[in-house]
Structure 1
Amino acid sequence: MSLQETLSNQVKQAVKSSFDITLETVEFQATRKEFAGDITVVIFPMLRFIKGNPVQIGETIGNYLVENIADVKGFNVVKGFLNVEINDSYYINFFNNIKQNDAYGLVSPKAEDKAVMVEYSSPNTNKPLHLGHVRNNLLGYSVAEILKAAGTKVYKTQIINDRGIHICKSMLAWKRFGNGETPESTGLKGDKLVGNYYVKFDQEYKKEIEELVATGMSQEEAKKHAPILLEAQDMLLKWEAGEEETVALWKKMNGWVYDGFNITYKNLGVDFDTLYYESNTYLLGKEFVAEGLKSGVFVTEEDGSVWCDLTEDRLDKKIVQRADGTAVYMTQDIGTAIQRIKDFPDVGGMVYTVGNEQDYHFQVLFLILKKLGFEWAKNLYHLSYGMVDLPSGKMKSREGTVVDADDLIDEMAKTARDISEELGKLDGYTEEEKQALYKTIGLGALKYYILKVDPKKRILFDPKESIDFQGNTGPFIQYTYARIQSILRKAASTTISDQNISEISLHEKEKELLKQIQLFPEVVQNAAAQHSPALIANYTYDLVKEFNSFYQNVSILGADNDNEKVFRVQLSNTVANTIKNGFGLLGIDVPERM
């Protein structure tokens, strides 16, 4: 039982015995720096139930705690705040119980519990991954790791958007202008090659629109009747009909893209347990559209299109199948969700990592699945996140103005190299060690900069600002971890033991550090409940700030006696382990030297 839980129970007992009042909850907060105490009980909310002076109420509860809890050594009351002082022995006992637990704060899932499937990445196969995909992948992967650390069984997955008009645009452009070129003949990653043809289609499409407008056709009509667009639409119909040549081209070009994606995922440090393809799941979606028609969930309009009327749910009508029988995004998302439960019966909920421009889509999807009678539909969650902007402005894939994910990863490593060389921190490293460290620092900077921000907020990403060895950045935290490793290497040479140390008086900085370590399990659980890696990121930064304050004010290897030296080395090791665990949940590596 945590200190807060123990205090909460005893405060309730104090109120019951002293005032004959039953409290449902007790409010706590951190004690302000200017007052003595380790944790503060807020008296003001109790005044709704207890009549009296808040200072006197605080005094009564404080005396009760001193008499009934051995770990409480004293208290003071400031207005409506009861500041409770805790004995050093409580923190030392806590530390001795967790210091050898490398998985402190992390919980193993129970086999019998329901699993959660976390979807992220989910790219289109008509272009390479870009900066927006990077935020998606980092968020989804981190949330999956955090859920696992909080005790949930997790499957990591993606739905690959490998069908639709956008795919046909790249296919048609390659067929018209590609002259048979391949990733091998060009030396390009397959996803980049295919992406170039998506841009080429848009360029040709705009030319044709201008030509039609010049003949007197309106802009809107020209957009609908451009020959290259009509041909792409015809290609989509041929694909859905299984026309052999079209399907063969689709398989070939998608194969190029998958090879390219896999390289990017490896460089980014994310992985998946299972993959789904829209080209498969849309068929199951169409089956359930037919089922929904029978049950009255869907209706057919005069033109043959199928819709779901959600007006009674304060939404609007949503199309689930076009008049020509082809599927829309909603069709395939219905099929994908159902297929996942068929494949993994232990899944009781899903998390969809998708940008906030799709908020309404998922609101509708979840509601339709509930109307189709699926019990698990109440456990679906849209991890909605804001877009990533650059100082130069918004990115557009079809115009070729995106920041390519591979280029960004390389650029981050180069920036890390330039700053490291400028600071002169890598004397004695081999060239191979330097390159590995540049990648670790660069990726750590990128991931931390993105994940420290609440997912719902939009980000203005500045690569150079993210790689800073001072402030709330990944490299600053990595550097602190490496500093601790240096301390531990020096300590090992003096044969520091792993014995339990109990007979010492804690320095104020040691106690503050222990309090911060004590918060880690709760932060993990809160981050899982809120699907927010930002809570882990900012907790880790706070821990590092506390350690650096401890490091500057307390001598570790130069302690006055062996007991203090052993304790401080052990404390430093636990801090390093907690940093490593916290960063592991963000998908960030920590270097042993830096």
Structure 2
Amino acid sequence: MNIQETINKAIRAGLQEIYNVDIENVEFQATRKDFEGDITVVVFPFLKVIKGNPVEIGTKLGTYLTENVTEITKFNVVKGFLNLVLSDAYFIENFETSYQIDNFGIKEPESGQKSVMVEYSSPNTNKPLHLGHIRNNLLGYSVAEIIKASGKKVYKTQIINDRGIHICKSMLAWQKWGNGETPESTSLKGDKLVGNYYVKFDQEYKKEILDLVSKGYAEDDAKKQAPLLLEAQEMLQKWEANDKAVVDLWKEMNQWVYDGFEQTYKALGVDFDKNYYESDTYLLGKDIVSEGLEKGVFYKKDDGSVWIDLTDDGLDEKIVLRSDGTAVYMTQDIGTAIQRIKDYPDVGGLVYTVGNEQDYHFKVLFLILKKLGFDWAKNLYHLSYGMVDLPSGKMKSREGTVVDADDLLLDMTNTAREISEDLGKLEGYTDGEKASLFKTIGLGALKYHILKVDPKKRILFDPKESIDFQGNTGPFIQYTYARIQSILRKADFDYALVSNGNETVLEDKEKSVLKQLALFPEVVQQAAENYSPAVIANYTYDLVKEYNSFYQSIPILAAEDEQEKIFRVQLSKKTSEVIKSAFDMLGIEVPERM
């Protein structure tokens, strides 16, 4: 039984004894820092069944608890809040239990439990990954790791959008202006090479539009009638008709992109258990649409296009198949969801990590799957997140103004190098160790800066601001971890011995660290329930602040009392373990020294 359960039971017994009333729930809060206490009981809800002054009720209840709960040593009442002070022995005994646990706060999956699938990245094969993809990947990967740490089996997946008009635009441009160049002949990553031709198509397409407008076409008509666009549309139809030449070129150029993506994923430190491809799943989607048409879930318009009417559900009509029989994104997403459940029957929930500009799309998708009769559709979740902006403005991939993911990762490493060299923290490092450290710091800064923000919020990302050895940053937390490793290396005595909790008197700074550590299991569960790495990131920052305050105020290795020295090293060690566990969930490495 944890302390809240113990206090809850005692409060119910106390209110029964004092006022002869029974209550169902007790509301707890963390005690505000400006008041003495470790846990706070909110008295106001009791007024529903007890007539009286909340301060008087709190005082009587506090007196009862100090007399009947050994862990509570004293109390104070502020208005309608009963602040309880817990004994040093309670905190130390609780710590000693957690100290013996290697993966404190991390749960193993229970047998028979439904698993969760998390989708992220899901790029198009007409361009390289950019800054927006970085937030998507970091968020999806971290959410998957957090859900796993909360005690569920997790599958990490992506859907690669490898077909459609955008891919045909890159292919057509390469045919016309590529002169047969390849990633090998240009020394370019394949995704970058293909992305260049996507930009080239847009440039030439705009020229054609201007030319048609100059000949008297309305701008909207010029956009539809531009020869390049018509050729791209014809190529898409040939692809869907399985034209050999088109399909062969599509396979070759897509492989260039897959190889490029894989290099970026490796550098970013994310992975997947299974890849899905739109070129496969859209076919299943088309079959499902046909079945739904027969069942009356969908209807066909005069032009042959297939739609669903969701107006009675507060949404609009939505197309699921074009008049020429080609699929839309919704068709593919229907097929992908169904295929995933076929492949992984133990999946109980799907999490889609996709930007908030697709909020409406996923409302429609989830509703369509429910109307098609799939029970698991009620367990679908759209992890909607805000866009990433830069001081220079919004990115546009077809105009070639995106921040390339590979370039950003390199820039973060170089920025970490510059700042570290300025601070002069590199004595005794080999060149190889320096290069590894710069990468660890740079990537840690990037990941933490993005993940510490609530997913729903838009981010303005400044690379230099993220690499700071002070404040709420990745490097600040990494430096604290490395500092603790230095303490552990210097501890030339057996600190594995368990201290005697009944004799140790805690300093306030020690108690603050213990209280923060004790929250970790609850924080992991909270982060999983809310699909929010920000909960983990900001918890870790709070833990590090408490630890650094302890470190700066109280001697650790220089403590005169042997028992105190052992306890403080143990406290340091467990703090570093929790930092590492938390950063593992964020996909961030921690260095042994900095």
TM-score when normalising by structure 1 = 0.99
Alpha carbons 2:310, 2:318 under 8 Å: kept: yes
Q: Which shifted more, 80-89 or 311-320? A: 80-89
The offset of 1:497, in angstroms, is 3.9
Q: Which shifted more, 64-73 or 463-472? A: 64-73
Deviation string for 1:512-553 (max 9, x for gaps)? 110000000111000000000000000000000000010111
Distance 2:36 2:341 in 1: 54
Partner of 2:47: 47
Alpha carbons 1:74, 1:85 under 8 Å: kept: yes
Alpha carbons 2:499, 2:563 under 8 Å: kept: no
Distance 2:264 2:102 in 1: 31
Partner of 1:87: 87
Alpha carbons 2:310, 2:317 under 8 Å: kept: yes
Partner of 2:113: 113
Alpha carbons 1:42, 1:81 under 8 Å: kept: yes
Deviation string for 1:128-177 (max 9, x for gaps)? 00000000000000000000000111100000000000000000000000
Partner of 1:339: 339
Distance 1:496 1:175 in 2: 68
Alpha carbons 2:333, 2:365 under 8 Å: kept: yes
Alpha carbons 1:131, 1:404 under 8 Å: kept: yes
Distance 1:383 1:127 in 2: 23
Partner of 1:419: 419
Distance 1:71 1:472 in 2: 34
Aligned partner letter, 1:438:
F
Distance 1:486 1:208 in 2: 65
1:14 aligns with 2:43: no
Partner of 1:97: 97
Partner of 1:216: 216
The offset of 1:56, in angstroms, is 1.4
Partner of 2:495: 496
Alpha carbons 1:138, 1:451 under 8 Å: kept: yes
Distance 1:331 1:512 in 2: 54
1:179 aligns with 2:185: no
Aligned partner letter, 1:262:
E
Partner of 2:575: 575
Distance 1:15 1:302 in 2: 71
> 4+ runs of 1 displaced by more than 4 Å?
none
In structure 1, stretches of 5+ residues that fail to align are none
Alpha carbons 2:495, 2:567 under 8 Å: kept: no
The alignment of Structure 1 onto Structure 2 pairs a total of residues equal to 593
Deviation string for 1:366-396 (max 9, x for gaps)? 0000000000000000000000000000000
Alpha carbons 1:390, 1:460 under 8 Å: kept: yes
Deviation string for 1:468-523 (max 9, x for gaps)? 000000000000000011111111x2443433332210111111110000000111
Deviation string for 1:391-449 (max 9, x for gaps)? 00000000000000000000000000000000000110000000000000000000000
Deviation string for 1:2-39 (max 9, x for gaps)? 21222122212222222222222212222233432211
The offset of 1:226, in angstroms, is 0.3
Deviation string for 1:91-127 (max 9, x for gaps)? 1110110113221001011120011110000000000
Distance 2:409 2:34 in 1: 45
Alpha carbons 1:390, 1:461 under 8 Å: kept: yes
Q: CA RMSD in A?
A: 0.9
The offset of 1:82, in angstroms, is 1.1
Aligned partner letter, 1:52:
G
Partner of 2:359: 359
1:278 aligns with 2:275: no
Aligned partner letter, 1:522:
E
Partner of 1:195: 195
Partner of 1:530: 530
Alpha carbons 1:119, 1:156 under 8 Å: kept: yes
Partner of 1:27: 27
- Where 1:398 maps in the other structure, the secondary structure is helix
Partner of 1:65: 65
Distance 2:442 2:27 in 1: 42
- Where 1:373 maps in the other structure, the secondary structure is coil
Partner of 1:246: 246
1:265 aligns with 2:265: yes
- Where 2:500 maps in the other structure, the secondary structure is coil
- Paired residues for 1:232-243 under 5 Å: 232-243=232-243
Alpha carbons 1:501, 1:567 under 8 Å: kept: no
- Paired residues for 1:86-485 under 5 Å: 86-485=86-485
Distance 2:59 2:549 in 1: 33
Distance 1:6 1:275 in 2: 48
Aligned partner letter, 1:83:
N
Distance 1:489 1:451 in 2: 31
- Where 2:319 maps in the other structure, the secondary structure is strand
The offset of 1:48, in angstroms, is 2.1
- Where 2:83 maps in the other structure, the secondary structure is strand
Aligned partner letter, 1:485:
Q
The offset of 1:564, in angstroms, is 0.1
The percentage of aligned residue pairs carrying the same residue is 71
Alpha carbons 1:426, 1:434 under 8 Å: kept: yes
Distance 2:428 2:291 in 1: 68
Distance 2:416 2:290 in 1: 55
Alpha carbons 2:106, 2:150 under 8 Å: kept: yes
- Where 1:75 maps in the other structure, the secondary structure is strand
Aligned partner letter, 1:245:
A
Distance 1:57 1:499 in 2: 40
Distance 1:530 1:350 in 2: 14
Alpha carbons 1:283, 1:332 under 8 Å: kept: yes
1:545 aligns with 2:545: yes
Alpha carbons 2:123, 2:161 under 8 Å: kept: yes
Alpha carbons 1:278, 1:332 under 8 Å: kept: yes
Alpha carbons 1:320, 1:327 under 8 Å: kept: yes
